[in-house]
Structures are given as structure tokens and as C-alpha cells.
Chains A and B, each alone.
Chain A
Amino acid sequence: MKTLSLLFFSFFIFNCEAQLKTNDAIPLQEEVKNYSFETVVDGINNPWGMAFLPDGSLLVTEKSGILYHVSKGTKTEVKNLPAVYNRGQGGLLDIVLHPKYAENGWIYITYASTEGEGDGGNTKLIRAKLENESLTQIESLYKCGPNTTKGQHFGSRILFDNAGYLYFSAGERGNHFVNPQDITRDNGKIYRLNDDGSIPKDNPFVGQANAKTAIYSYGHRNPQGLAINPKTGEIWEHEHGPQGGDEINIIKKSANYGWPVVTYGIDYDNSIISTEQQKAGIENPIYYWAPSIAPSGMTFVTSDKYPDWKGHLLVGSLKFQYLELVKLDGNKIIGRQKIAANIGRLRSVTQGPDGYIYIGVEGKGILKIIPN
């Protein structure tokens, strides 16, 4: 028994200590500041998501559970919001308009909710309409379960693809050995629905026993960025890794993105989660950050207002408090450039209908980037 304990303990120590292998392949270039910032709205602690209405006004979610309607610099609190479970990383999350909003008025929102089985909360998707600064006709479209009091990994971003399907992400809720690899469970997934919340018949796991048939892809940790690549129509996603190993992925139907079977990161206490970074049957990211930048928000630049940025990708960094321009050649990452250095925890980024880039910065609000 003693010999066994000796062997076991040495082995344990040997296996638990790790140092993050950094990814230095593409160095981050310093900021070239040929732009200025204009405050669109201030006094929003955590501007998690934003959506422009056809009249040019802006809807902004604040994590603690407030939805602001911002028009000409003044913000009005939208009434009749559902109860939001505000704990850890959970709260009021993303907001997106239906592609045919002008015709049908649907607004899609994700948030952490206590509804359903178990103590705590989990990610929920609803749609509603905005009338007289109040949400009306609220419809529940999907609620992840079971609830948990864990503070981590709710996701969540919402996206419509060019065919009109509705996607949203939910993180693995701090339960990485149980949720992400199991398609009979919620969390650690990208979901695909029809715009009314029904499940498309050709979803990949339809017909599989006990499967959550809304799942489109799995093996995710905590995706907080979703965007359509305007050139290819493909869905791009980014997700938080642990210590190191934040990823950019191209989302494919039924694909496994590997968490926690493979990862380029290590755990916060420097222990190893997986010794493998790649495996057959698991999608490799097209890029990974090590150390982590803590990515949140993502948009492709299609506007002519920023000639140097056009065709490339913008990603917010919570950890290092800047906006990252990820330069692309097709699906390949060829450069990285810092924008808005030291601006604050950058939570959300979008290109407005006017072609300008808008960023949501924690502790500040929404800023517009104006090129010189």
C-alpha cells in the first residue's frame, strides 16, 4: 500500500503541473490610431448585446437585466422584461432582430432564467415585440436545462443565417465532464431552430434516441461570438478556452468541437485538462489564442468606411481590453492588429446599418469608431 501511495503521488505531481504553450505564430501588431471614438450612450455597466432598429435607434442589453432603447443619446428602460437570473456570468445576454423585422417585428433575446428543473438557472431564448417601450407577445423558444447555481458559461449569442435559420449558443455551465460531449444534454452546444422556435426536420440529431434535437454542433466550452462570413455564408464562432485555448471555429452541422477531449489550454490551477490538442473526428479551430484574450462579440467588416479593415474580422477582448482585428485570407488568419487599446473590457461589437463599427465597453456604454 505504501509503495502504491508513493508511486501514485509522484505520478499525480508529475501530471498536474503544466505550463501553457503559447501560440506566437501570428504576433499582435500595435494600434495604428487613425480613428476617434464618439459616445453613443454612456452609463451602461455591461452592454452585453446590441441591435439597431430600422429607425436608427438602438436596443442594448445590460447584463443585470435591463434592456435599454437608445435614441439620440438618451436611454429609456424597456418594460415588461422577464425575470433575469443574474449570477456569475449569467444575466441578460444577447439581442438580435429577425432578418424581416420590418415586416414581423420579432426581437430575439437570450438570458439566464430560473425556469424549469433544479436550483439556479440556465440559458433561455425568447422572442418578443417592442410596443410603447415595452416587450409584448413574449414567446419562449428554448430553455436549456437542468438549472445549476454554477457561475460559469451561459454563452450566449444569437444569429440568423442567410437561409433564415436561427442559431444560438449556450456554454457548458461549468460542468465540462458531463455536458459538452453528450448530445442528450443541453449546454456546450450551438443550437439551430426555425424562427418560431420549432426544430428543423433536417437538424443533425433528429431521430436519435434521447438527443436534444435542437443541437446543431457540440463540444463547445463557452461561445460568446457568432457571425456570418459574408463571403462564404458560413457561421463563424469563437469561444472562451480555459487558461489559453480560446478558439475561432467554422460551425458545421453535427460537428464536435472537442471540449474537453482536446484543448489548446490548461486549467486555471495549471492542471492539464487534456494532453491532446487534435483528434480524429474533432474539428480543429482555424485559430486559437494562447494566452487567452477572453473573446466576446464578433463581426465581419463589410463597410467601405474602414478600407484597411474591410473583409476582416473584429473580436472584442475582455481580458486585455481592446478590439482585435483578425486579418483574413479566405478562411486563413494572416494577421492580428490591436484597435482601441486599453478602452476597457470589450463586450460586444457590431457594424451598424450606417456602416460604422459600434463597440460595447463595460463601465462605459456604446462607442462609435469614426475613421479620420
Chain B
Amino acid sequence: MITKINMGLSLLFVTALYFSNTTTFMDSKKEYLSIKEQQQTPLQKSIAQGKEIYTDFCIQCHMANGKGNGSTFPPLDGSDWLKKKITESIHAVKYGQKGEITVNQKKFNSIMPPMGLSDEEVANVMNYIQNSWTNKSQKMITAKQVSAVKP
């Protein structure tokens, strides 16, 4: 269902586009993208690749908005657990997670199976999660850092 706010926002955005006179916006999309790609920092690249991993492996439970389902699957968006426990978070993505954890004062006790991701994929999806929704982190997680996390 489309809300009025949504409709209004999209109209506003489109109107802004219309009047912003960025004549090259549509016609040179290819060029625009390639320049953008060249300018991507390693963190931005990692986030972009991490998004694909997230869509593939995480979205079913943690949802597109990173909010989980409130009972069995904890939120990633605004999660204090994620913020405070970086190594544990990497460990969870790399080897799976089992047992009770407390996220934003709420207890969760379910199982996340190990996904079979490479160290680089773990780093990428962590960077995506740490920089999506309301999450922000300047510290990039590297494959090297992931490989140092042992079972």
C-alpha cells in the first residue's frame, strides 16, 4: 500500500530532480557510474559487496530494515550488542551464534547457523551492517581482522 507521505516524498524528490537541471543525470548514466566506482573508497566497495551477501544470507531473518522480528531474530539496526561486541559479532557471522544474548535490553535465545562465508565476505557483510539504516561506523573491518577471529 502506498502512503500519502511516501507519494509526497517521491513527488518532492522527483520535482527536485526536475528543477535541479542536472542535464547529464539520465543521458550519461554510464559515465556517471564509472566515475563513481573509481571514486569509491575501500570501505564503500566493501559495503556494496556486503549488501549482496546480506540479501543472500541475512535478509530472511534480520529483514531488509535490519530490525529482525522482535522475538527470535535480534535487530541489527541500532543494536548495542553489535556496537559493543565487534569480535563477538564477527565470530557470530563466521561460525554461527547460539545461546542467550541481550540486545537493547531484550533477551534473545535462538540459533544462527554458520553460513560458510569466506573471511572477505564476512568483512563485507559486517561493513554493510555497520553502515546501514541508522548504523554508522568509520572503522572498516578487514578480511585479515576476520581471519584472526578463531572458533
**Residues of A in contact with B (beta carbons under 8 Å apart):** 1-2, 4-6, 9-10, 13-14, 17-19, 45-46, 63-64, 85-88, 90, 150-152, 174, 268-270, 319-321, 344-345, 362-363
Contact = CB atoms under 8 A, between A and B. Distances in A.
Contacts of B60: 268
18 contacts: A2-B26, A4-B26, A5-B14, A6-B18, A9-B14, A13-B6, A45-B98, A45-B113, A46-B111, A88-B115, A88-B116, A151-B115, A151-B116, A268-B64, A269-B59, A270-B64, A321-B72, A345-B110
B72 A268 contact: no
Nearest to B25: A5
B64 A1 contact: no
B64 A2 contact: no
The winner among B7, B14, B96 for most chain A CB atoms within 10 A is: B14
Which label, helix, strand, loop or mixed, suits the secondary structure of the A interface? Answer: loop
B111 A10 contact: no
Contacts of B55: 268
A1 B21 CA distance: 12
10 nearest interchain CB pairs? A87-B116, A269-B64, A13-B10, A268-B59, A151-B57, A363-B111, A151-B56, A86-B116, A6-B14, A9-B14
B2 A14 contact: yes
Interface residues of B, number: 32
Contacts, number: 81
Contacts of B56: 88, 150-152, 174
Contact of A86 (B7, B26, B64, B114): B114
A1 B26 contact: yes
Contacts of A10: 10-11, 14
Interface in B84-118: 96, 98, 110-111, 113-117
A1 to B, nearest CB: 5
B132 to A, nearest CB: 12
Contacts of A63: 113
B63 interface: yes
The winner among A2, A150, A270 for most chain B CB atoms within 10 A is: A2
Contacts of B64: 268-270
A4 B72 CA distance: 45
Nearest to B110: A345
B111 A362 contact: yes
Interface string B28-63: 000000000000000000000000000111011001
Contact of B57 (A64, A86, A88, A345): A88
Contacts of A6: 14-15, 17-18
A184 B64 CA distance: 33
B63 A2 contact: no
Contacts of A64: 114
A5 B17 contact: yes
A87 B115 contact: yes
Contacts of A270: 64
